[in-house]
Structure 1
Amino acid sequence: MSESQHPARRRRRRLLHTTMAAVAACTAAASGAYAVEWGPFKPDRPVVHPDAVAQAEAFLADWAGGRTDSAGERTNSPDQAQTTLRNFTAGLDITAPALTPGPASAAKDGTVTVAFSAKMPVTGLGTWTYDSQIPVRRQEDGEWKVAWDLSLVHPNLSNTEKFRLQRQDTITSPVTDRTGAPLSADASPSLKPVLDQIAQRAGAGPRGVIERIDRTSEAVTGIEARFGKEDGAAAGQSIRSTLDANWQKAADRALAAKAGGKDAALVALRIDNGEILAVANSPAAGFNRALSGTYAPGSTWKIVTTSALLLGGAVKPGDVVDCPKYLTVGKQFHNVETSEFPGATFTKNFTESCNTGFISLRGKVGDSELGEVAGKYFGIGQEWNVGIPTFDGSVPVPGDQTEKAASMIGQGRVLGNPLTMASAAATAASGSFHQPVITPDAEDRTTTSALPAEVVTQLRALMRATVTEGTARGLAGLPGNIGAKTGTAEVSESAPNNGWVVATRGNVAVAVVVEGGVTGGSSAVPVVRHLLEAIPHDPS
């Protein structure tokens, strides 16, 4: 008898199919219920409602922006929230808090919790950093509100404990130059931010603590934050820097005499070990553009570009590299004052700073090669440990051929400052990168390789020729075997170009940028000449 003819088998088969269909239907129903939260099947994880997250983020934005009334209205206890938020920042001298929302999660009771990190700048001391979280609950009217509690401001803020700022004695420690001679902002006004940073790093400067105290007895129950080093410099103990008082005074005077009242910056450092001899800014007050500025380095960057070309055997100094007025690579590039040098050698391109000639060689280097050479041989883009905060250069991989063309001449997204470019000049002169330092104990954590001797010889010759017969002629006639490279960096179509120069003499490398200086030869070179005339000898 076949299966189709056997009644018992037919009944068992129908039963199996019915059971499987029921299981499939239940599975589908469970899946659908998970998505929309209805039916007999509930999701394993409660859903984080986007409106709750948005309310928490808006609360943080209002609090950070000082809109405490608006922040309070986003809670279920506006009056208490407004009072606490105002007192919290004012009582602790906190200005412009930075509050960054983090991940959100939901509990079974529907409460959505949004984590956040807080950076609270305490005036004159530093930044208090901590993490907390904001609970948000749906109200009876359907609106989401922050469930107010003191602990969301800080996990340790409560009905029984609060915080108190205690400022302590400021440790005053004089900063000296490399010989032990005192340095002061009175004698060199542009050194003020530098001296403050050196002192703070050594543990001198203002100190204080944020204490957690009992609300009733005001007894201290804990320390939430401490500013300044307990084991730092002792009061009155001098802190030695690598700066040289004579070079520093001469640098300040050079900017005052020759920068034409424009914003400008200068760095001088030793070639053999990277020790910074002078840091000067004009105007003296405010931003330290010499060490922390972010500028397009213009044609001073051609030192790095030339290194990449020489390392790869792409060009030799005597090779012919035509220098036309214009060259189009997505956009039209031109030379300063639309100069041209038909049939020029590569040396002529370097000494006259021919943009079109350099751009025409872009196909001889890889897209990422400039950045690789800058990092491997010049340390640019690595993290430097100078002894105070600095910007150490950036060389992103070009996004297209137009950007690559711009990067060949120190434009586009290539960024540096007088510190990075003085260091680049020093590396070209010596063949080895020495991380710049402003305190003798700053540890070098970079990893670089020495340039081949042949490349160093060629770079020295090119920089010397720029002084004797090129755009840095303004330095000719000074004693010493001076080498240099000028730069003109475009800022925008409407703003005048920045003027640049880097120069080496003996064991010293100098870099100067003059904002709106138009050309390096006319604006930055006179500053360096004034400096080198004032200090005719290298530091011992």
Structure 2
Amino acid sequence: MGNRRRVAERRKTNPAVLGGMIAVVLGGTGIGVYALLGSGAAAENGAQSSSSEKAKAVKTGPLSATEVKTAAREFLTAWQQGKVSEAAAATDGTTAAKALLTGYTKDAHITDVTLTAGTRTGAKVPFSVKGTVSYKGTSKPLTYDSALTVVRRAEDGKPLVEWHPGIVHPDLKDGDTLVTGASGTPPVKALDRDGGEITEDEYPSLGSVLDGLREKYGEKAGGKAGIELQVVRGKESKKAELSDKTLVELSKGTPGTVETTLSPTLQAAAEKQVATKSKASVVVLRPSTGEILAAANSSHGFNIAFQGSLAPGSTMKVITSSLLIEKGLASAEKEHPCPKYFTYGHWKFQNDDKFEIKGGTFKASFARSCNTAFISQAPELDDDSLTKQAQQVFGLALNNWAVGVPTFDGAVPVQSQAQMAAELIGQGGVRMNPLNMASVSATVKTGTFKQPYLVAPDVDGRQLAKASRTMSAATLSQLRDLMSYTAAYGTAAEAMSGVTGDVGAKTGSAEVDNQKKPNGWFTAYRDDLAAAGVVQQGGHGGETAGPLVAALLKAGG
């Protein structure tokens, strides 16, 4: 696509031509290919081999700077000279490396390659790539940065480049290829709900969304394909719902037009909000219709807002509460246990800071996000109770959403004992993303699940997912009361201060193994808006994701 960002070339030094051979410069020190020839012959001639000489010991331990530079130089020099077999042999993945490097010239039509190594950091060597993409008389420059890591082969101690496709281009995953030619799908011109063009330059978060729109609607929207260098996804990437990606556009195709539901005002606000955090993602919906009004991520690669798979923490208690109320195990105004600890399935669960609420109501436990208030009801539930509630009432975890671009629709697997109990508070096997949790708030607001969508279903006759049942009026009324009270007086109150209208909210913090701070979650609604966000490694949701979500609810007012 014409608005693709180009990776800026950052060349530190240039390879020097020495006696017809290319010396790749590593770490600012010129160590040419000629050095590989060395002067070892004299030493060899001066030594007598013996049949009784013991085999040389395999070298182990950390790699020296010289070993790293030499291994990197051998690989980069061979690649630059087009000696694919030699370059592949300098890696620990010879077969895969040979196939991808062969395709780099044969299928991607990349020529005149210059590789310039940067300053080594430990075993890692960054390098810049400069080349030309040429196809049927049309050429365009190609520049990007990459990096390699050198490892020691266990069997003989030889330093080799650790192989993975991202060395060749950072957008490549296992099984992906680089191909230049007539693109398989025509480009699309995506429009927001007001008719304005959506571009990645204006909305950096939407790069993967635009890729998804092109893949699904390129051929249907009436466009004509152009000539492009593309990352063509393999089986593993397709399983992860990654779309093909354009790297260089040699000749423009004729784009077809695709209308979306995105609000330019809210999308701009969402981009601004996530830019304040390093790992933030947000989604805004219209509950009455399911229209997606905005989606943004701090990082602009993988679309966590739509495709993330993260434990949602206590925001899951919205779904769990609806289950407990329906089954008569909790009631907003009735007394409900919130002890410091509760043991189930041989796991001892506790509340944040080990607090307890003596003689409090379920509303108080929800507003303060008491874990044990929910865990204590696990003995009364079947293993599949929460799974059914999420699927049947909230439309989640059935893998049947037809949004218009790839999404992950949540997961609430059937589990037992301690793992089942952990799922009640959004841990265990439960996995969600901001799109899912914004939909949860939207369902509470309207009382009925309406599948979120980015492109109207009548554009291509898609069937939107439906829930098999709705909550009873009594359950829905109590659930709204719980979220409203939490927004006014509970853990969400500070973030929701100043958000007027019919509001409700729930905070969440999800613990992640080997992560110092939990992921902070927040889901809320205001009138005919619903939103959710996550800040990974942010801490408490009310303090991290909460202000982002609240700001978007205000912006859409």
Query: What TM-score does the superposition give when structure 2 sets the normalisation length?
Result: 0.62
Equivalent residues in 2 for 1:56-95 (5 A)? 91-93=106-108
Match of 2:388 among 354, 368, 372: 372
Q: In the alignment, what sits opposite 1:302? A: 317
| Alpha-carbon shift at residue 522 of structure 1 (Å) | 1.0
- Asked whether the equivalents of residues 444 and 479 of structure 2 are also in contact (C-alpha less than 8 Å), the reply is yes
| Alpha-carbon shift at residue 292 of structure 1 (Å) | 0.6
Equivalent residues in 2 for 1:217-366 (5 A)? 235-256=254-275, 259=276, 261-283=277-299, 285-329=300-344, 330-366=346-382
Aligned: 1:471 with 2:491: yes
Moved more, 519-528 or 444-453: 444-453
CA distance 1:85–1:308, change in 2 (3 Å): closer
- Aligned-partner residue type, residue 282 of structure 1: S
Match of 1:448 among 452, 464, 468: 468
Q: In the alignment, what sits opposite 2:211? A: 196
Q: In the alignment, what sits opposite 2:413? A: 396
CA distance 1:72–1:456, change in 2 (3 Å): closer
For residues 397-446 of structure 1, what are the alpha-carbon distances to aligned partners after superposition, in whole Å with 9 as ceiling and x for unaligned? 114x1111211100011000001111111112211111111111343144
Q: Which has the higher helix share?
A: 1
CA distance 1:126–1:287, change in 2 (3 Å): closer
Equivalent residues in 2 for 1:116-131 (5 A)? none
Structure 2 distance, partners of 1:345, 1:325, is: 15
- Asked whether the equivalents of residues 393 and 415 of structure 1 are also in contact (C-alpha less than 8 Å), the reply is yes
CA distance 1:206–1:126, change in 2 (3 Å): farther
For residues 165-198 of structure 1, what are the alpha-carbon distances to aligned partners after superposition, in whole Å with 9 as ceiling and x for unaligned? 7435974432111121222222221112212221
For residues 18-40 of structure 1, what are the alpha-carbon distances to aligned partners after superposition, in whole Å with 9 as ceiling and x for unaligned? xxxxxxxxxxxxxxxxxxxxxxx
Moved more, 309-318 or 417-426: 309-318
- Aligned-partner residue type, residue 477 of structure 2: T
Q: In the alignment, what sits opposite 1:524? A: 545
Aligned: 1:486 with 2:507: yes
- Asked whether the equivalents of residues 289 and 417 of structure 1 are also in contact (C-alpha less than 8 Å), the reply is yes
Q: In the alignment, what sits opposite 1:534? A: 555
3-state SS, counterpart of residue 432 of structure 1: coil
3-state SS, counterpart of residue 522 of structure 1: coil
For residues 450-480 of structure 1, what are the alpha-carbon distances to aligned partners after superposition, in whole Å with 9 as ceiling and x for unaligned? 2222211111111000011111102033221
CA distance 1:437–1:124, change in 2 (3 Å): farther
CA distance 1:87–1:248, change in 2 (3 Å): closer
CA distance 1:468–1:505, change in 2 (3 Å): same
CA distance 1:267–1:494, change in 2 (3 Å): closer
CA distance 1:85–1:322, change in 2 (3 Å): closer
| Alpha-carbon shift at residue 274 of structure 1 (Å) | 1.0
Structure 1 distance, partners of 2:500, 2:359, is: 33
Moved more, 524-533 or 364-373: 524-533
Q: Which structure's CA Rg is the greater one?
A: 1
Percent sequence identity is 38
Structure 1 distance, partners of 2:350, 2:381, is: 21
Structure 1 distance, partners of 2:99, 2:545, is: 54
- Asked whether the equivalents of residues 200 and 206 of structure 2 are also in contact (C-alpha less than 8 Å), the reply is yes
Structure 1 distance, partners of 2:440, 2:224, is: 33
CA distance 1:528–1:71, change in 2 (3 Å): closer
Q: In the alignment, what sits opposite 1:504? A: 525
For residues 235-288 of structure 1, what are the alpha-carbon distances to aligned partners after superposition, in whole Å with 9 as ceiling and x for unaligned? 2442101111111011112223xx4x33010000110121100001013x2121
Match of 1:433 among 439, 444, 449: 449
CA distance 1:493–1:343, change in 2 (3 Å): farther
Structure 2 distance, partners of 1:196, 1:73, is: 32
Q: Unaligned stretches of 5+ in structure 1?
A: 1-65, 75-81, 95-121, 130-163, 210-226, 229-233
Query: What TM-score does the superposition give when structure 1 sets the normalisation length?
Result: 0.64
For residues 102-143 of structure 1, what are the alpha-carbon distances to aligned partners after superposition, in whole Å with 9 as ceiling and x for unaligned? xxxxxxxxxxxxxxxxxxxx999999x9xxxxxxxxxxxxxx
| Alpha-carbon shift at residue 448 of structure 1 (Å) | 2.5
Q: In the alignment, what sits opposite 2:191? A: 176
CA distance 1:188–1:72, change in 2 (3 Å): closer
| Alpha-carbon shift at residue 346 of structure 1 (Å) | 0.8
Structure 2 distance, partners of 1:369, 1:186, is: 45
CA distance 1:359–1:124, change in 2 (3 Å): closer
- Asked whether the equivalents of residues 93 and 123 of structure 1 are also in contact (C-alpha less than 8 Å), the reply is no
Structure 2 distance, partners of 1:295, 1:125, is: 23
- Aligned-partner residue type, residue 524 of structure 1: A
Structure 2 distance, partners of 1:72, 1:345, is: 61
| Alpha-carbon shift at residue 526 of structure 1 (Å) | 1.1
- Aligned-partner residue type, residue 247 of structure 1: L
Q: Unaligned stretches of 5+ in structure 2?
A: 1-86, 110-167, 229-243, 246-252
Structure 2 distance, partners of 1:165, 1:444, is: 36
- Asked whether the equivalents of residues 125 and 208 of structure 1 are also in contact (C-alpha less than 8 Å), the reply is no
- Asked whether the equivalents of residues 175 and 183 of structure 1 are also in contact (C-alpha less than 8 Å), the reply is yes
